[in-house]
Amino acid sequence: MTVTVLGISGSPHRHGNTETLLDSFLEGAQAAGATVEKVVLKDLEYSPCRGCNACHKNGECVVKDDAILLFDKILASDCIAVASPIYTMGITAELKGVIDRGQYLWARKFILKTLYFPDEHIKHHKGLFISTAGQNWDHVFDGAFPAITAIFNGTGFEYYDNIIANNMDEFKGIKNHPTALKEAFFKGQKVVGVLEKLKSG
């Protein structure tokens, strides 16, 4: 069975540093034989979580928009690559907005107890975080990791790896970075190989 890889582009800037890095990852995954799809959050219609807590009662979100369709896609994928540039020390509003909308899955897991991802499931589902940042500071991605951990945990994915490149201001864009695009392509190939092996038992 073919490995399915879903790229989620959380940058409002089309074909900028982060989406380019994501594209390189997806090209690597495709070269390794995966079925690949990219969703650009900027093109979706969704609103932020209302905090109404209606999902606590039945595990369903009352807001029926593209966010729910995206979570359906995520849950049907073997690998997700969640991409966001660093905006004000964290992820973009577009991506945070989607992650919050996954609250209905949290309700299923922890309130209703109708959703449980066994260890074996998590092992077979790999999540990667892809990011770029302007500053040349080693800790510039630290503010993003907790929300990324949360979406992987909430959807049953192992937090498998990061593909992160800082100092974009000095490099004047990801295309001038000496290693990041190659690293992303290679990691795309590699994760598909790992998942293929797991699928074949």
Ligand X SMILES: Cc1cc2nc3c(=O)[nH]c(=O)nc-3n(C[C@H](O)[C@H](O)[C@H](O)COP(=O)(O)O)c2cc1C
Shortest Å, Cβ 170 to ligand X: 11
Of the pair 32, 180, the CB lying nearest ligand X is at 180
Of the pair 83, 191, the CB lying nearest ligand X is at 83
- Give dist(CA 48, CA 178) in Å, integer: 37
- Give dist(CA 50, CA 117) in Å, integer: 26
Q: Residue 54 has which token pair? A: 């209606």
Of the pair 17, 155, the CB lying nearest ligand X is at 17
First vs last Cα of the chain: how many Å apart? 11
CA 100 to chain centre: 13
Shortest Å, Cβ 153 to ligand X: 25
Shortest Å, Cβ 100 to ligand X: 19
Shortest Å, Cβ 29 to ligand X: 19
For binding to ligand X (CB under 6 A), which residues are involved?
11, 13, 16-19, 85-89, 132-135, 140, 168
Residue 53 sits at φ, ψ, to 5 deg, of 65, 15
The CB density around residue 27, as the number of other CB atoms within 10 Å, is: 16
Closest residue (Cβ) to ligand X? 16
Q: Residue 32 has which token pair? A: 């390794």
Of the pair 171, 185, the CB lying nearest ligand X is at 171
